[in-house]
Structure 1
C-alpha cells in the first residue's frame, strides 16, 4: 500500500513537471498564429483598406485582436506614474530602487518637491506576493503620492531567479520586511494589502519584542487573512478542504529550461490565474464578448478600458514553492497567527508584544476573498496596543479590490490612512505614561 502511494506521488510530481513544460511548448507553438493574427488585425484596421470601414472588416479585426490577446503572455506592466499633483501644482515623479534582494526590489516614487515643501508621511506599501505584480497597486500608489513619500515592494517573478540565489519562504518574507524598515529608518508607516497582512503583523511583533527602534509608527492592514476561521470565503474553504500534501503534489511545478529559474520549484502564476478566472468565469466571458462588440462599434474608450484592466489582470508571476506551501499551511490550514502558534526562525511570534505601533484595519463590506472580520481579528490578537492607537474601518459597497483601488478608496479609505499616519507620527505623539499591560488582554 505504501509503495503504491509512493508511486502515485511520484507520478503526480512527474506530471506536474511536464505540465509546466507543455505550457511553455504550447505558448511557443502558438507564436506564429499570434503573429499572423496581429498582422491581420493591423491589415483590417488600416484606413487604406476599404474593408476597415465596414462592419465585416471591423468584425474580422476584432476577432483577430481577441485571439491574439487571449493567447499571448502578458509581461510585467509599468507603473507609469511620471507626475503627481501637489497643492502648488504638478511635479515629476521618478522610480528609484533604494533596496534590493534577489526576490524583491524596494521602489521609491521620488517626487521633485519644492524646497519649502513640508515633510510628508513616509509610507511603505507591502504589495501581495500572490500571483500578480506590484503594479496591481498602481492606483493605491497614485492616490497616496500627492500626500506621502511612497515606497512599494516590487516582488520578483520566481521563475526569473536562479536556483543559486537560494530559497525564499515565509520566514524570509518577514526578514525582508524588517530589513526594509531598517533601510527606511524611523517613523515609517507600513501598509499591507491583502496577503502580506500576516507577515507584516508578524514582522512588527518580532521587532517590538526585540525592542527594535526601527519598528514602524503605524501599520495599516487592508483586506488581509489574519484569521480565516472568521466568515470564511470560498478561497478559505478550498484551503481547508485539502491537506498540505495535496497542494504540494498538484500545484507545485519546476521551472523549465531555458528560463533563469530553471529547476526551481514554484507555484506557477498561470495556474493561479486559472483559479482566479474560474471563480468568475461568466464575468470574464461576458467581458470578452463586450470587448469584441466595442471594437466592432469603434467604441475606442470602452475597448481601451478593457485592455488596461486585462493587461494588468493577466500579467502573473510565479511564487517559490516553499513560500506558497508555508503560507497555505500557516495562514489557511493551521491558523497559526491568531492561535498564537506562528513561528519565525524557531521563535514564537508574540503579537501581545506590540505596544508602540498604532494599528489600523480596513475591510470591504462585499469582500469575497478576505471575509469581513478576518482583518479586524488583528485588533483582538494585539491586545496591548492602547485604544487611542487603534482604528477599524469597513468600507460599504466594495469588494476585495475596492479596498485598495477605485473611487471609494480614493474618497473614503486613502484619506483615513493618511490621517492615521499623521496622527500617530512619532513627532506628533505626546509623551504618555506607559500603560499597565494585562497579560492576554488589552491595556488599562
Structure 2
C-alpha cells in the first residue's frame, strides 16, 4: 500500500514538475524582459525549486570520459564485463595498454547507486584497472530472476573476484565491509588463489556495538519482526520487478533526511537565495549533490532483513557466529590478504572503532600486512569523497597497496 501511494504521488507530481520546468525555461529565455528583473529572478528561482522538489531522480551517470595518465589525456569507456540479475561488474576501460594493479571497488547496496563513489573511482583510474559493483535497483529485476540474500551478495563478490583473477585489491565502502570479510574468509578457507591481495575497508559497520550512532540505534532499537512488518513493501505494477518484496529507497531516504531535516531545509533556502543572487557556482554544487543524494534504489527484502539481523541485531561477525551457506566461517583462515581500515573522526553513520574491529576478527593477518588510519576532520562521506580523500586518504591507500 505504501509503495502504491508513493507511486501514485510520483505520477500526480509529474505534471507539476513539467509545468515548473517549462515555467523556468520560459523565464530564462534571453529575450524575456523579466529575466533581468528582481521579480523575474525570484520567479525563476521559485520555478526551479518546485521543479526539483517534484522530480523523480533517476540513476546518475558516472560521467568520467577522460583521465590523465603521465600527463596525457586518456579516454575512458565504461564496459560491463559480467552481468548477474542484481549487479553488473563495471570496468572503466582506458585507451591503451597499462601494467597497473587491479582494484575492485565494492559499492554499498544501501539505497544509493554506485555513482555515489564517483570521486573514489576517479582517484584510482589513472594508476589502476578499476572495476566496481554496479548494483541494480531491485524494482527493475523481474520476479522470475528470484530473490537476493546476504549469501547471494557474498556469492556475487566471490564470482567477481574469480573472474578478475589473482592479485586483485578490494576496496569496500561502508555496508560491503561485512560481506567482503565473509567472501575473503570463504575464499581463504577454500585456498582460492583469487582471494583478494588486499582488503581496504572504509567506514564499515563491522562491530556496531562500538560507539553506536543514531543510525545504529535506529537499526538495533527495533526487532526483526518490526522491520519485516513496517518497512518491507511489494513493488506495484508498472515496474519490471512488479511483485518483488523490497525495502524501498524512498523510505531509507526519508529516514536519512529526517535525521538532518533542518540542515536540508536550510540548504534549500540557501539554494533559493543563490539562484536569486546569481551565484551559479554554489547553485550548481547544490544541484550536483542533491542529484546524487536524492537518486535512490530499492533493496531486495531478504538481503536487507538478513543484514539487519546479522550486522545490527545479532552482531554475528564480531561474535564469531557468522555463517555462509549454513556453515560457520573461520576468519582465522585469512593470512595472505593484507588489511587496511579507514575511519573518519566525525563519522555520524559508522562510529569510531566499528571498522577497526576488522583487525580483531581477521586476527591471523601478519602485523606487517595491516594498517589502521583515522582521517581527522571528516564525516562519513568525507572518507571516500572530497578534498581530504583526494589529498590524504587515497594516497595512503595507494602506498599501502604498493607496499605489498
Give TM-score scaled by structure 1 length: 0.90
Runs of 4+ in 1 over 6 A off after TM superposition: none
Segments of 5+ residues of structure 2 without an aligned counterpart are none
1:422 lines up with 2:394 in the alignment:
no
CA distance, structure 2, for counterparts of residue 93 and residue 31 of structure 1: 35
Match of 1:170 among 131, 145, 150: 150
Match of 1:235 among 209, 212, 215: 215
Residue in structure 2 matching 1:30, options 7, 13, 20? 13
- What SS class does the counterpart of residue 318 from structure 2 fall into? helix
1:78 maps to 61
1:37-67 residue CA offsets vs partner (Å, 9 max, x unmatched): 1111111111211111111111111111101
**2-side partners of 1:388 and 1:371: how far apart?**
26
Are residue 65 (structure 1) and residue 48 (structure 2) matched?
A: yes
1:397 corresponds in structure 2 to 377
- Tell me how large the CA RMSD over aligned residues is: 0.8
Partner of 1:215: 195
Partner of 2:322: 342
Distance 1:140 1:223 in 2: 14
Q: Measure how far apart 1:213 and its partner are.
A: 0.9
Contact 1:132 1:315 in 2 (8 A): yes
Q: Could you tell me whether the CA contact under 8 Å between 2:172 and 2:202 is conserved in 1? A: yes
Residue segments in structure 1 that go unaligned for 5+ positions in a row: 1-17, 425-444
Q: Which of 117, 121, 126 is the matching residue for 1:137?
A: 117
Q: Which residue of 2 aligns with 1:353?
A: 333
Corresponding residue SS for 1:336: coil
Q: CA deviation at 1:331?
A: 0.2
Please say if 1:288 is aligned against 2:268. yes
Rg larger for: 1
Contact in 2 for aligned 1:337/1:349 (Cα 8 Å)? no
Report the counterpart of residue 439 of structure 1 in structure 2: none
Q: What CA deviation, in whole Å up to 9, does each residue of 1:385-431 have, x standing for no partner?
A: 0010100000000000010011111111111111111221xxxxxxx
The answer for the alignment partner of 2:257 in structure 1 is: 277
Secondary structure of the structure 1 residue equivalent to 2:105: strand
1:337 partner SS:
coil
SS of equivalent residue, structure 2 residue 163: helix
Q: Is the 8 A contact 1:121 1:422 kept in 2?
A: no
What's the offset of the Cα at 1:216? 0.9
User: 1:88: how far off?
Assistant: 3.6
Q: How many residues align?
A: 404
